[in-house]
Structure 1
């Protein structure tokens, strides 16, 4: 998931959680913290032998927080897989690009098209699985499959081009 802290965007992945001990990666770097949450929204965090206290004020929808620590305050937005997918889908619905790219790391489950196939708006071009959730990626306008750059079962990276398309202009 993405964590937005002011202007900074961090890629955060939960690796393991046992009790209060949380293992995660932040921008690919491993991090281990011990977190104890109190009912009033405050928490105690131990990291590398240092102790931090924070107050979390949850925003609407539960995906944003104001975090107060000592004399500093931060606004934090959590962009999970579902939010990222919906944002990508919204932009895809607005205007079809000449390619389909992976919005996040995942695995190709199915490619129901072949190079040369003509697709109508709403047709499924590829199915990906990420975070144990399958997502159908559809085209938003008429187009032709120009090139398929991945295979079923292949692991894909964030922003990797999966399929190249040729848009069909209406006469």
Structure 2
């Protein structure tokens, strides 16, 4: 299993741990086998869990420039495109759902913030998108 080398009072020792079950350890020191019983059971460490603190700033809603001719719909968060509910040439009004983006096992509906016509779709279903990646253009 594991091998260690120790030096105690200028004497060298090679320790090979053969097995470890509960609080019993089978080991070999310089060729001699030993069975060691530990007083307390060794606690197994679990995989650490990542805990994120709450955001200090609330997320800002998607802001659209009402004076621009073209509107670019970008991914607000990284995720996977689950469905695209529009196609090129569709006319949308404010609040129409354009697509569903899955992020951190949650489905997020991306809705139209400005009325217009779809001119280009840059994504496909199943595609992974990054934050601020262009997904849809409309006029």
Give unmatched runs, 5+ long, in structure 1: 1-16, 25-61, 65-76, 167-171
Give unmatched runs, 5+ long, in structure 2: 1-44
Partner of 1:18: 46
Answer with 1 or 2: which has the greater Rg. 2
User: Aligned Cα RMSD in Å?
Assistant: 2.8
Partner of 1:91: 62
C-alpha contact 1:126 1:137 (8 A) present in aligned 2: yes
Q: Give the C-alpha shift of residue 106 in structure 1.
A: 0.3
Stretches of 4+ aligned residues off by more than 4 angstroms: 94-97
Say how many residue pairs are matched.
91
1:62-81 pair list within 5 angstroms: 63=54, 77=56
More strand by share: 1
C-alpha contact 1:95 1:140 (8 A) present in aligned 2: no
- Please report the TM-score for the alignment, with normalisation by the length of structure 2: 0.56
More helix by share: 1
Which of 107, 112, 133 aligns to 2:106? It is: 133
